[in-house]
Structure 1
C-alpha cells in the first residue's frame, strides 16, 4: 500500500472528516491543473477518484452554480470566483479589491462613472436613499461632495478615487459607450498609493484605459 493510499484511508476513518467535501474541492483544483474543461475521465485521472464519484461531484457543482456542463465536458462557472475572493477579503494582508468585488456606487470610480450617465435629480434621489458609510477617513459621504465628483466625471470623462474605498489604493475609471453613445459599462484600474501619485495615475493609467475603452467600444 502506497503512502498516499494509506493517508487517504486514514482520513476516511476520521469521524469528522467529510470525504465528499474533499472530492468537490479536489475537482475544482483539477480544472486549474488541466487549464481548461474537464471530462469525467480526465477529472478521475487527476483526482484519483472513481468516475462515479467524480460525476456526482461535478453534477452537484453544476447544481450549485459553480460549474456547467458542455456536452461531455464540464467547465467552471463564474460563481467559482467567489471561492478565491472569499480568501482575498478575509485575509487582512490582502487587498480587498479584485475581480468580482461588489463596490458601492457612491465611493467607487466605476460607480461614479455610471452615476454620471443619469440625470442629476435622479442621482441625488438615489444617493439620499442609500447608506453612505465612511469606509476610510477619506471617503466622501455627503450628497453635495459626491455630486461634485460626479460633475467632475461629466466634465473630464473619468473618475478618480483616492483612498476612499481602501487605505493605500487609488483607482481611476472611464465609461464604455456603445455605437449610439449610450454608456453601457465602466472600466477601472487600481494602484497602490506607494507606487503612483494621483497625478501619475492620470498621466500613466488614463491613456491605457482610454485605449482599452476605444477597443471595447468598437466591438459594441
Structure 2
C-alpha cells in the first residue's frame, strides 16, 4: 500500500513484522538475517529487531545463522479457521467425495486475489495429488479460483493446477441467498485422469457433494451479512 494511501491509524512496524513472517515459505523455510532484510526491503538492523522480537514471542527460532518459523505461527491461522462453520460442515462431504472418486478433495475460499484451501480430504491411493490446508494460490490460475471469481453456475476444469501434472475440477458453493461463498475442488494427476474422464466420472460426484454442502448451509441460521463463523444450527 502506498504511504500516502495509508490511514492515520496504520502501524508501519506491525506491517513489517507480518512481512518478516511471510518471508518464510516452502521454498525458504530457513533464512539468514541478510536474506530476511532483502526479502522485506528492510535494513539489517530493523530485520534483526523484528526477528528477535518474534523469537521472544515464540514465533521464530534461531539456529546459528539461520532463522525459522516455529509451529506457534499456526495459531495465527487457526484463530481464523476455528471460527468458521463452513469447513467443519464441509469435511464429511469432502471425505465422502474423496472416498467415492479416489481423488483428493478440498474446500477453498477467496482472500483478495488468492484462493485459500481451508479444509481437505486426501485420497487414499499411492501418488495421490494432495493440497495442504492453508495453501494459497493465485485465484486466476486455479479451477477453484476461477469458479469463485466468475461465480460459474456449473464447474471449471484446469490442467496443471496448481502445479504441472495435476488437473483440478471445481464447482462453486452457494449459501442460502445464492451468494458464492466457497468452492469444492478435486485434484487428480493428469496422466491418470483426462479432461473427458474427469467430466464423465468425477463431475457427478463433485456436484453431488456441492449440493449436499449447500443443503447444510440452507438449514443454517445466518444473517445475510454475517461472517461464516457466526452461524448457528437450528
Establish whether TM, by shorter chain, passes 0.5: no
Larger RCO, structures 1/2 (Cα 8 Å, 6+ apart) = 2
Under a length normalisation based on structure 2, what TM-score does the superposition of the two structures give?
Answer: 0.38
Please tell me whether Structure 1 or Structure 2 has the larger radius of gyration of its CA atoms: 1
Q: Which has the higher helix share?
A: 1
